[in-house]
Amino acid sequence: MARKIAPQAKRWTLPEIDEALSELLRTDRLLKSASLSDRQALEELLLRMRAIRPAKERVA
How many CA atoms lie within 13 Å of 56's alpha carbon, on the beta-carbon side?
Answer: 0
For residues 18-42, average pLDDT: 90
pLDDT band, residue 6 (cuts 50/70/90): confident
pLDDT averaged over every residue in the chain: 84
Angle between helix axes 38-52 and 14-33 (nearest 10 degrees) is 170
Distance CA 1, CA 12 (A): 18
Distance CA 28, CA 34 (A): 10
Residue 12 in contact with residue 53, Cβ under 8 Å?
yes
| CA distances (Å), origin 9, targets 3, 6, 31, 32 | 10, 5, 26, 28
